């Protein structure tokens, strides 16, 4: 698809904008612009300066910014924007295979194929407040059919909500005409940007069963409290809850991840040795990222011809004190930094009270 001039809205976005113009005169458009190495990317702009970027290569979200223009996703400074290498960071899509759970290349081929903009997607129930979104589609090429002999339509909608929330909705349809079902595994391989991995904890996965990729995919049960990080981790948590929180104490920020249609959740950080071994990843960058990936790994999804599956990821970033502990009502202890602040406020109040009393008496 030919790219329009960098600052002009693409035709479907312009049409959508025109359709909603009466109720929403400030409707943000999406724009199609040239990104790294000349690869095309879609810019989504929300209200109050929220934004996101999606490369057509891999349908990969590579940027999600809040209203202070702070980047919330991690993309490696050494990421290679050149097919067939997948872009290191953002939200790669793993399909039709997660990891090494099958005979295909690691994480399947969707992340290193060129997707196209879907001008006319089948209707998808949406929050009418969402004005900034794009629909992308992937169909298998003849080459793809040789390595995975199934016809499919993979539609992805990336949307930026009015509060800056980012959502990805995948719809995968079996379009085989020979009556055959197919099965696949899947993940939204989300790289979160964090201040310092040793200051991060993940809530929602404690006591879950997991497959440990570092121990031959053996099954274990997570012990104790929230997950904290002191070394390499590569685990597939099974039947994980629909909400997971990633709490960054230093940044005082909590990412809330909500997933639908995706039972599992992968947690990955390569740590120092593996980081050094990766060509497209800086040696110390493992300190500033954490992957928490809504996924369907343990039980592959099977679709009969004509059937469609939907899997959704929604992300929001909120101040830490707001969210911590709320995933589990039994764990309402605020983080140490919040407790310290409360104590210091109480002390300050006490000092003021004493000063006022001294003046009055």
Give the binding site for ligand BG6 (CB under 6 A): 86, 99, 106-107, 189, 213, 234, 266, 268, 293
> Least Å distance between CB 189 and ligand BG6?
5
Q: Count of CB atoms within 10 A of residue 50's CB?
A: 24
Structure tokens at 128: 């009418």
| Catalytic-role residue among 189, 249, 285, 298 | 189
Euclidean distance between CA atoms 244 and 266, whole angstroms:
11
Task: Give 154 or 268: the residue with its C-beta nearer to ligand BG6.
Answer: 268
Nearest to 61 by CA among 90, 20, 89, 101: 90
Query: How many angstroms separate the CA atoms of 322 and 254, rounded?
Result: 8
With 0-12 CB in 10 A as exposed, 13-18 as middle and 19+ as buried, what is 35?
buried
Binding residues for substrate: 88, 106, 111
Is 68 noted as a catalytic residue in this protein?
no
Least Cα distance to 321 among 245, 257, 258 occurs for 245
**Nearer residue to ligand BG6 within complex by CB, 217 or 310:** 217
* Cα dihedral across residues 101, 89, 286, 225: positive or negative: negative
Annotated binding-site residues read 88, 106, 111
Q: Which C-beta is closer to ligand BG6: that of 189 or that of 249?
A: 189
Annotated active-site residue in 40, 53, 293, 298: 293
Q: Any bridge partners for residue 281, and if so which? A: none
User: Is 150 a residue of the active site?
Assistant: no
Instruction: Provide, rounded to whole angstroms, the least separation between the CB of residue 214 and ligand BG6.
Output: 8
CA 170 from chain centre, in angstroms, equals 12
Q: Are 291 and 192 in contact (CB under 8 A)?
A: yes
- Least distance (Å) between residue 297 CB and ligand BG6: 9
Smallest separation, CB 98 to ligand BG6 (Å)? 7
Nearer to ligand BG6, 13 or 291 (CB): 291
Active site residues: 189, 293
């Amino acid at each position: 698809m030919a790219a329009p001039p960098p600052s002009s809205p693409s035709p479907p976005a312009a049409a959508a904008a025109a359709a909603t113009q009466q109720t929403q005169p400030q409707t943000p458009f999406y724009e199609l612009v040239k990104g790294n190495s000349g690869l095309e990317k879609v810019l989504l702009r929300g209200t109050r300066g929220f934004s996101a970027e999606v490369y057509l290569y891999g349908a990969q979200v590579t940027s999600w910014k809040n209203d202070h223009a702070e980047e919330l996703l991690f993309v490696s400074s050494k990421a290679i924007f050149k097919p067939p290498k997948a872009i290191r960071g953002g939200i790669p899509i793993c399909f039709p295979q997660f990891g090494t759970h099958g005979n295909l290349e690691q994480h399947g081929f969707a992340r290193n194929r060129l997707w196209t903009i879907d001008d006319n997607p089948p209707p998808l129930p949406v929050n009418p407040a969402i004005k900034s979104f794009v629909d992308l589609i992937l169909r298998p090429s003849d080459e793809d059919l040789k390595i995975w002999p199934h016809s499919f339509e993979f539609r992805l909608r990336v949307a930026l909500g009015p509060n800056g929330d980012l959502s990805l909705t995948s719809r995968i349809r079996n379009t085989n005409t020979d009556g055959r079902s197919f099965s696949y595994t899947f993940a939204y391989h989300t790289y979160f940007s964090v201040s310092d991995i040793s200051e991060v904890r993940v809530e929602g996965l404690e006591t879950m069963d997991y497959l440990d990729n570092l121990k031959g995919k053996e099954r274990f049960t997570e012990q104790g409290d929230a997950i904290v990080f002191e070394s390499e981790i590569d685990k597939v948590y099974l039947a994980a809850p629909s909400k997971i929180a990633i709490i960054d104490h230093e940044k005082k920020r909590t990412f809330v991840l909500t997933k639908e249609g995706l039972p599992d959740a992968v947690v990955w950080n390569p740590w120092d040795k593996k980081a050094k071994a990766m060509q497209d990843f800086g040696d110390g960058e493992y300190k500033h990222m954490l992957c928490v990936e809504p996924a369907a790994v343990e039980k592959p999804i099977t679709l009969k011809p004509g059937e469609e599956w939907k899997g959704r990821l929604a992300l929001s970033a909120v101040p830490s004190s707001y969210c911590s502990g709320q995933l589990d009502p039994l764990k309402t202890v605020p983080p140490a930094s919040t407790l310290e602040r409360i104590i210091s406020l109480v002390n300050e109040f006490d000092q003021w009270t004493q000063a006022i009393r001294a003046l009055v008496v």
